[in-house]
Structure 1
Amino acid sequence: MIPYVNKDDEANNEKDIEEVDINNLYKDEKKTHYDWYDKILLNRPLKVVVVTLLLAIVAPVLIYQLLFFSSIEHAPNDGFSPGSCVVSRASRLPCGLGNVTQDKCHSLCCYDLNSHVCFHRYPSRFSYIIDHNIWKEWSEEVILRPRVRNVPFSSQNSIPKLRLSIDEVSPSHLTLLFYNAEKMSYEGNRIEHKNYTHHVDSPEMTVTVEGSQGLIFSTLRGPLIASNDIWEIAFKLTNETMYGLGELPLTAGTVKVLYRHKGDFSTIPLIFAKVNDSYHGLLIDSVAPTEVFVLGDNQIVLRSITNEGLKLHVFIGPKPSDVMSDAMMIMGTNEQLEYWMLGAHICSESPKTAEDALTDLKEFMSSAASASLPFDSHCGSAPIVFNSNCEDDQLIEEAAAVIKAAGKRYVPQVSPYIRYHEVNETSDEIEMQRTDNGTCIDIISEHKQYILHSAFQANYTSDVYVGLVGEDTVVYPMFENASVEFMKRLWAYEVELDGIILENNWPLDESLKNNETALYLPYFSKNLEQVFENTPKWNAVYYNDTTKYFYKHNKYGTHAVSAFKNMFVTEVPMWSTSSWMDDNVNINRQNIHASWTNLRKELVEAALGGISGHWLWSSPVCGDTDTFDPETQTSLCVKWYMAATYMPLIKIHSSSVPTHPLAFTGTNKNLMLGALKKRLSLLPYFFTTMQSGPLLRPMFYQFPSSEHLKDLNTQYSVGDDLVIVPNLLPSQTHVHFWIPPGVWYELWGGLQINGKEGDVVSMTTTEADFLTLIRGGAVLIMQKEVMTSAEETRLRAEFSLTIALDCESNHTTAETSTSVDSNCLATGSLYITREMSLVFQTNERHLYIKAIGEDFEVMCGENAKVAHVIKDISVYGLDDEYNNYDNHRQASVNIDLCDLKDATNDKILYTYV
């Protein structure tokens, strides 16, 4: 039976409930059970906020751990910084090879499962430490010990004892040398007055250098790895812009290999860095193969296959010219510039037989004379390769005679190899090769100590290393400490040289190589494999020396230059394709393919090469390989001739297809000849400029204080007074000119460019020339009516002056003029000899000429080499009422500079208004 509630009872119960005070009933209970955290837990909006914050903060960390960490690690037990894997992708430094699978990533590195990259923690655990139990702070004798026993390259052991030597070379130059303390010892110099401070943090070593402009070098708390055949260091120079290594500017993603090879950049590894409106520099001094990586955030990583260490030069600046000067203190100064060297050098490399090549040479010299082709030197009928069987001596001497008879200079190309002929020493053939000095083939056996050998066998014996250059089997002389006797045996030619070009002297070896290097070295990348492809095998050795050849490879060209200089009784100018830290040789650019991209690149290379210290820089017009196609690239070749007008030195190198002007016809031929003649007309200015600085310069170098010009690679300064704006596209009709500080005029017509610094002006251009501007305040000395060589032009062509007045700056009294202030001024100079120069100063009415020095014989004597008459003057910047042309005043004059010998007050005065 189901129970029922009595209705009367239900009514009574409801009445009782209504009479109860519920607030009082639960008052005590509420006080007992509701604390502050209960309010939080029972507050629904607050719970939503808390959960959201947890998801926003904790979840990403957990996800990052699961997706990007190779493992979740605890702090290391060595007590030093654990390092973090939370590093932005732009700032990550590759750990080991970088792009590897997770199982090959070192356990102390981080791994990104998304991009499959192994990268260093920040700070890196691969560092060296100062033991505070022994050393309280760094000093030269401190032993640095590796924090990690093995390195992320083949798990090799770290070098157990490292030292850092800091050498204060000068007030603006110091060196950092990290080296194996078990093999050598250095002690850096200290000077009292310097423009920098350096500091080594401990216990985890970090090196910083500060100048007046702020921090200019830091190792970033990044990796310092030292092991057998692999060293690595990371550092940073600036947060702003960098230039160098053949790049203008130097950007993230750039990779360069410091190992002289086919297609290498020719300048020294000098980096300019901008910070706080000033510049400093860093020079990488590493003879061993070294990779340079420019990564995000301007981080630079060096990896070097060395056993000795890493050396860095830091230059304080603060101007780019100061950096260049300090770099040249290491390399030396090239003082072998002669006037004829500024003229065109022509070379041919025909696949024909030696006899046919000699016939072609004779025909060319005859045609060149008929066409009045302006050039100064020729390399002969073919490049010289040393022969072990004495062939071709007579043909080389005949070629030299042909060139000399035409009034040109003989500057042969020499490949520093010996053609290798394997013959039976008892055969009749070898008897036919005998000379008064014995058997030519015995050069190799008699002087084997100067020949490169193959890797040592198990019994420590080796044969000469045999390589391949073209179709020639060759062996390689090792020129380091080569005796004069050995060099004279190599150079068996009775010819008079005016100069010599050492080509292919990396040295070149085109033989097929097995991909075995990576099996023996702990680190060998695709970049290294590419540069090793056309050089001798890495495991070749010097005679009786187990040290591998590749450790000294970068110095091969420099050793060759020194050996040749020691051989010749009279020193002659020398060009070299490969040079290392040596500014006493001219740069010979080689293996440049004909392309629009490479034309632009050659301008960049020449400009950076010049400000790095290689002022005498030679570039091949239209390239020097077989890739030139006259059907499609003639317009490119024409533009290349125009660019060559402003190059320091030039070479017209014809390979299988001739690229000299006589190989073309019509307008193209005339434009090429016109470019060569224009170059000759500007040589007085070029020769004067190159006595004290580079010719072609990047804009950041010439105008370091201008923010508008710092990253430009579309216009270049030519000395102090000219700027060129190349038109490097086919049929290009306009160029954009970024106005530098000061007043500027178009060079050939005198049109003044209106605008202020940094303004961009679009100007018309032609196929016949690059737009060229002259600086207001400059006097440009030229010789417009050129002859067929630089030397003849210098002697016989009368001078012309282009005066570009600066009427906007605040001027003081001209030194050579009256005591009255001038509104417009311009100055210039003409280098004659080391003993004499001419100085030109003008105002809006007068020209003053003064001689500094008294070596007038070279200009006014019987054996004069320099012209002495000024024929005409062009003046830019005068008021229109004084102009007799649209934008300038032209005056025909007859000023004899020899009058300076007897002039009153040693001055010549000419009034043009």
Structure 2
Amino acid sequence: MATNASWLQEQNREREDYKNEGKYQRRITFKGIICNKIVKGWIFLTIFATVVPVLVYYFVVDQGTYKTNNSSTCSIKSEFRVPCGKINISSADCEKIHCCFELSTETCYHYLPSKYSYDFDENTNGYVAVQKSTPYDSASIQKLNISINEINENKVSIILHEDTVDVSTNTLNSAKNYKVKIADEKLIVEVYRSEDDDLLLSTAKGPLIASNNYSEWSFYLTNQTLLGLNQTLITVDENSTFNAVIYKNNYDHYTLPVFWAYKNKQFHGIVIKHDGPMEITILPSYMVILKSLTGGKIEVELSVGPTPTLLHDQQLVAQNIPSYWTMDTYMCRRGDNVNLTQLIKEYSLDLQATSDCIHENLLAAMMKDNGTNLQGVRGILGQLKEQGIKFLLSVPPQIFGNTTDLYKEAVSLDVLYKYNSTIYKGKYLKQDVVYPDYGHSKIQSYLKAFSTFLVTYIDIEDIDGFVLNANWPANDNYRISNLSFPYFTEDLREAMSNTLPWNSTLNNGSVLHLQKHNTYGYDQLTSMKTYFNSTNPNIFVTSASDTFGDGRPTIIQNVNASWSNLYSHIDNVLFNSIVGNHLVNTPVCGDTAVYDSVIQETLCIRWYLVAATMPAFRIGSTEPWRDPENLNTAFATQTVQRAIQRRKMFLPYYYTLLSRNEPALRPMFYDYYENTTTFSMKHQYMIGENILIAHPLSSGRTKLQVYLPSRIGVWYELWGGKMYNSTGEAWIDIDVVETDFVAFVSQGSVLPLRTDNIFNFIVALNCTSKICEASGTLFEESYLNFNATDTAITISGIPQNCNFTLENVTLYHYTNVSIVTYYTNKNASLCSGEDNITIDYTTESEDGIFI
């Protein structure tokens, strides 16, 4: 721990916009002129006569609360002002709660430094609340502390907690890439980069407020570029704020409390760890304000980067490589119907799908069926297995009905949520339901009863995986109306409705759901994995609601079809991908009833083309159906089927990236942040390092502007090989139509495209040296390596038991103009029993002639 005795002076210097630094530097260059005594006198008189009256008016007349005898000040740039107290508060009430008021905008905001802080008290040898109550009249927690947990040389946790709460901490004796400083006089922490003393995080610019049902903590990460809350670039207008609520709900069950910051050409990032409902506000200055309704412990885990790749690796929890089939086309219809007879009658096998759920309500319908349709379910599963289609069972968290043996076992085990000491009954799919607590100590016994119920309809070995849907958990008949919280906004009201009541209880009433809500989905996922992995270690389990760090794909639900939603979901997917959710996906063409199959056909085609670039692919909706066979025209059906087939060729490439624990999808700045223009690009992105994808994200577009990073000297159009030299002007305009799959490949790349066991190679040569060459890798059971020139390709690492054949090689080459040459053969075998093989494009082989 280090002291920072001059932090007040530093904060007063920094309370203005950092953009002024440039002005100060320019002033120094005129030092000789300014130091002239006559000039200095005139400058002083001019400033005094013009500036001082303005400042007096601004501070005294307009704001009305400026006090010259107080170390705190109200003279804060508007973009740094942290709101204080209730909305529409009066000037008098604002002053009563020790905050500043501006008459022109009628806003109440905190002083700098805020008068809400925790100062060191020598009598108690701890940090004590300056104010006895919060701005919302709740009693302040009297003593707080900040603990530092040094995880490794690149990662550190800052934990805010009550003084009486013990937290696990660690201090590293080895060298670290960060320095942590805590001020003696106030409970303020700052983290610096060891190499250059660059400030990475500061809590000095906002208030620190803590009570049993409200806490507020602010931190500052950068004055340049901020990313987070599923946004690859957070932009805040000068007179507005950006707000998000972290409380899993119908329409926002996948936002992660993760931020990346870019400053001085380097990246760093944080993960916020807090179980209760939290509202996060971003000011125009990029100050981040956390407001929690539960108080308690808040942890901020900081990683130092400094590159996007290193930051990704530091935040990533080690992951197992998923089974290859989990990237295949997944089909799952939705709706309100829970009549099993009707679901079976309506079901038709979709041969475009390689995995299927029959219907998202299958399990609910089985719970309501009482064994009537056993043979119907088994018959459909038999069809799936005959076609080689994987079966994924959708599992909502709720128990339907109150007469089944499963319900009775849950009651006996006392694992159900309660309200006013009785079992809480909610509504889902217009049915009465109850809710198990998946974090309960007896939940494994409940899952044993659940498994027993399943086998009456489905053999467990026929289940390839579970999809945990609506597990925020969904509840149709609850809308929060009480005003028990001192701080409450409409955003919080929306987020805390249509789920379990916040004051429903578990563990015999000792724990409120409010405290566990955000981990409900994660508890279901981990408990299901624990139980079913014991008998089938390879069973796949994924969830609609998860917490940061597990790395499982999040199933996104309740998305209306619109161009704006497609645009925003690309952004969401890109950010999720680089913070660890590698199997990203989007609900193709939306999944709600808000969809017009005629008017929105172009949108749906583009949505398929976007989804075809992602490692996970999910088609599932209510009526009208949006699977290929049910689109409005034969043209649309054929177009999206081609997109699915083209995507299938890239699955080995995606799988190779996943095997290296790399994000398959990545925003442009991930690899090319040296050009800060890439931060705002959302219509184009990368698949790995070598493939650039671009989309027209509106209807009727005939032109598309694409940025080709100049670090790569030449980009080839992926499907035709047209060469684009990006060393000069990096922006190009291309003609597009609604069915175009716009993609480019970087020079020096070998792209191995595989369908079943047949390979096709795209060789994008780099001819900047005397030898034209390219390379690539592919992960099968081990890594295959490819090295190519303009005359031959060498493949090494070939497994002994392989059965690969080569269909063709497509060679992209350049001299002064683009040249595309195709070399084909007749499915030559790549398996000679040797570890490597070299194929000369110009020679005759036993299998055919390259032409």
Q: Aligned residue for 1:93?
A: 82
Distance 1:54 1:733, change over 3 A: closer
| Larger Rg computed on CA atoms | 1
TM-score, normalization by structure 1: 0.81
Aligned pair partner of 2:72 in 77, 83, 98 = 83
Q: Is the 8 Å Cα contact of residues 774 and 789 (structure 2) preserved in structure 1?
A: yes
Q: 1:459-488 CA distances to partner (integer Å, 9 max, x unpaired)?
A: xxx001111113111110111134332112
For 1:468 and 1:587, how far apart are their aligned partners in 2? Answer: 24
Q: How does 1:662-741 map to 2 (within 5 A)?
A: 662-664=629-631, 665-692=633-660, 693-740=662-709, 741=711
Q: Aligned residue for 1:479?
A: 438
In structure 2, runs of 5+ residues without a counterpart are 1-40, 844-851
Distance 1:97 1:397, change over 3 A: farther
Q: How far is the alpha carbon of 1:843 from its aligned partner? A: 2.4
Distance 1:351 1:88, change over 3 A: closer
Q: Is the 8 Å Cα contact of residues 505 and 578 (structure 1) preserved in structure 2?
A: yes
Q: Aligned residue for 2:20?
A: none
Q: Aligned residue for 1:11?
A: none
Classify the secondary structure of the residue corresponding to 1:340.
Answer: helix
Q: Aligned residue for 2:225?
A: 241
Q: Aligned residue for 2:477?
A: 511
Aligned pair partner of 1:838 in 744, 765, 784 = 784
Say whether residues 1:616 and 2:583 are aligned partners.
Answer: yes
Q: How far is the alpha carbon of 1:63 from its aligned partner? A: 6.0
Letter in 2 for 1:893: N
For 2:248 and 2:127, how far apart are their aligned partners in 1? Answer: 32
Q: Aligned residue for 1:794?
A: 756
Say whether residues 1:454 and 2:419 are aligned partners.
Answer: yes
Classify the secondary structure of the residue corresponding to 1:620.
Answer: coil
Q: Is the 8 Å Cα contact of residues 331 and 357 (structure 2) preserved in structure 1?
A: yes
For 2:577 and 2:209, how far apart are their aligned partners in 1? Answer: 34
Aligned pair partner of 2:771 in 823, 826, 835 = 823
Q: Aligned residue for 2:326?
A: 341
Say whether residues 1:379 and 2:357 are aligned partners.
Answer: yes
Q: Aligned residue for 1:309?
A: 297
Aligned pair partner of 1:803 in 763, 775, 781 = 763
Aligned pair partner of 1:780 in 747, 751, 756 = 751
Q: Aligned residue for 2:264?
A: 276
Q: How far is the alpha carbon of 1:350 from its aligned partner? A: 4.5
Letter in 1 for 2:838: I
Letter in 1 for 2:370: E
Q: How far is the alpha carbon of 1:389 from its aligned partner? A: 6.3
Q: Aligned residue for 2:108?
A: 118
Aligned pair partner of 2:389 in 408, 413, 419 = 408
For 1:758 and 1:188, how far apart are their aligned partners in 2? Answer: 51
Q: Aligned residue for 1:769?
A: 740
Classify the secondary structure of the residue corresponding to 1:588.
Answer: coil
For 1:187 and 1:562, how far apart are their aligned partners in 2? Answer: 26
Distance 1:359 1:341, change over 3 A: same
Q: How far is the alpha carbon of 1:666 from its aligned partner? A: 2.0
For 1:295 and 1:51, how far apart are their aligned partners in 2? Answer: 34
Letter in 2 for 1:130: F
For 1:626 and 1:285, how far apart are their aligned partners in 2? Answer: 35
Q: Is the 8 Å Cα contact of residues 739 and 757 (structure 1) preserved in structure 2?
A: no
For 1:391 and 1:602, how far apart are their aligned partners in 2? Answer: 40
Q: Is the 8 Å Cα contact of residues 609 and 615 (structure 1) preserved in structure 2?
A: yes
Q: Is the 8 Å Cα contact of residues 641 and 675 (structure 1) preserved in structure 2?
A: yes
For 1:382 and 1:709, how far apart are their aligned partners in 2? Answer: 39
Q: How does 1:12-161 map to 2 (within 5 A)?
A: 57-58=52-53, 60-62=55-57, 64-69=59-64, 71=65, 73=67, 75=69, 82-97=71-86, 99-105=88-94, 106-131=96-121, 143-153=126-136, 155-161=137-143
Q: Is the 8 Å Cα contact of residues 149 and 168 (structure 2) preserved in structure 1?
A: no
Q: 1:236-289 CA distances to partner (integer Å, 9 max, x unpaired)?
A: 111111112111211222211111111115253221111111111111111111
Q: 1:616-670 CA distances to partner (integer Å, 9 max, x unpaired)?
A: 1232111111111113111111111111110120111131211011012321111
Q: How far is the alpha carbon of 1:739 from its aligned partner? A: 1.4
Q: How far is the alpha carbon of 1:694 from its aligned partner? A: 1.4
Q: How far is the alpha carbon of 1:414 from its aligned partner? A: 1.4
Q: How far is the alpha carbon of 1:108 from its aligned partner? A: 1.2
Q: How far is the alpha carbon of 1:114 from its aligned partner? A: 2.0
Q: How far is the alpha carbon of 1:146 from its aligned partner? A: 1.6
Classify the secondary structure of the residue corresponding to 2:559.
Answer: coil
Distance 1:878 1:389, change over 3 A: closer
Distance 1:232 1:440, change over 3 A: closer
Q: Aligned residue for 1:602?
A: 569
Aligned pair partner of 1:640 in 607, 632, 645 = 607
Distance 1:270 1:912, change over 3 A: farther
Q: How far is the alpha carbon of 1:403 from its aligned partner? A: 2.3
Aligned pair partner of 1:493 in 450, 454, 470 = 454
Letter in 1 for 2:558: N
Classify the secondary structure of the residue corresponding to 1:684.
Answer: helix
For 1:775 and 1:614, how far apart are their aligned partners in 2? Answer: 25
Distance 1:72 1:663, change over 3 A: closer
Classify the secondary structure of the residue corresponding to 1:556.
Answer: helix
Q: Aligned residue for 1:195?
A: 177
Q: How far is the alpha carbon of 1:887 from its aligned partner? A: 3.0
Distance 1:799 1:294, change over 3 A: same
Distance 1:676 1:239, change over 3 A: same
Distance 1:689 1:53, change over 3 A: closer
For 2:173 and 2:681, how far apart are their aligned partners in 1? Answer: 38
Letter in 2 for 1:888: V
Distance 1:134 1:508, change over 3 A: closer
Q: Aligned residue for 2:812?
A: 876
Distance 1:238 1:204, change over 3 A: same
TM-score, normalization by structure 2: 0.87
Q: Is the 8 Å Cα contact of residues 357 and 382 (structure 1) preserved in structure 2?
A: no
Q: Aligned residue for 2:6?
A: none
Letter in 2 for 1:910: D
How much identity, in percent, do the aligned residues show?
Answer: 25
For 1:779 and 1:260, how far apart are their aligned partners in 2? Answer: 42
Distance 1:602 1:298, change over 3 A: same
Q: Aligned residue for 1:39?
A: none
Q: 1:675-706 CA distances to partner (integer Å, 9 max, x unpaired)?
A: 11111122221221221211111011122333
Q: Is the 8 Å Cα contact of residues 67 and 73 (structure 2) preserved in structure 1?
A: no
Q: Is the 8 Å Cα contact of residues 287 and 555 (structure 1) preserved in structure 2?
A: yes
Distance 1:680 1:241, change over 3 A: same
Q: Is the 8 Å Cα contact of residues 467 and 509 (structure 1) preserved in structure 2?
A: yes
In structure 1, runs of 5+ residues without a counterpart are 1-45, 77-81, 136-142, 422-429, 434-438, 456-461, 784-792, 811-821, 861-867
Q: Is the 8 Å Cα contact of residues 779 and 826 (structure 1) preserved in structure 2?
A: yes
Q: Say how many residue pairs are matched.
A: 776
Letter in 2 for 1:225: I
Classify the secondary structure of the residue corresponding to 2:733.
Answer: strand
Classify the secondary structure of the residue corresponding to 1:889.
Answer: strand
Distance 1:278 1:545, change over 3 A: same
Letter in 2 for 1:644: A
Distance 1:133 1:538, change over 3 A: closer
Q: 1:494-514 CA distances to partner (integer Å, 9 max, x unpaired)?
A: 222011110000101111435
Say whether residues 1:548 and 2:508 are aligned partners.
Answer: no
Q: Is the 8 Å Cα contact of residues 479 and 496 (structure 2) preserved in structure 1?
A: no
Q: Which moved more, 1:501-510 or 1:97-106?
A: 97-106
Q: How does 1:315-330 map to 2 (within 5 A)?
A: 315-329=303-317
Say whether residues 1:227 and 2:211 are aligned partners.
Answer: yes
For 2:172 and 2:46, how far apart are their aligned partners in 1? Answer: 61
For 2:448 and 2:377, how far apart are their aligned partners in 1? Answer: 16
Q: Is the 8 Å Cα contact of residues 246 and 265 (structure 1) preserved in structure 2?
A: no
Q: How far is the alpha carbon of 1:415 from its aligned partner? A: 0.9
Classify the secondary structure of the residue corresponding to 1:297.
Answer: coil
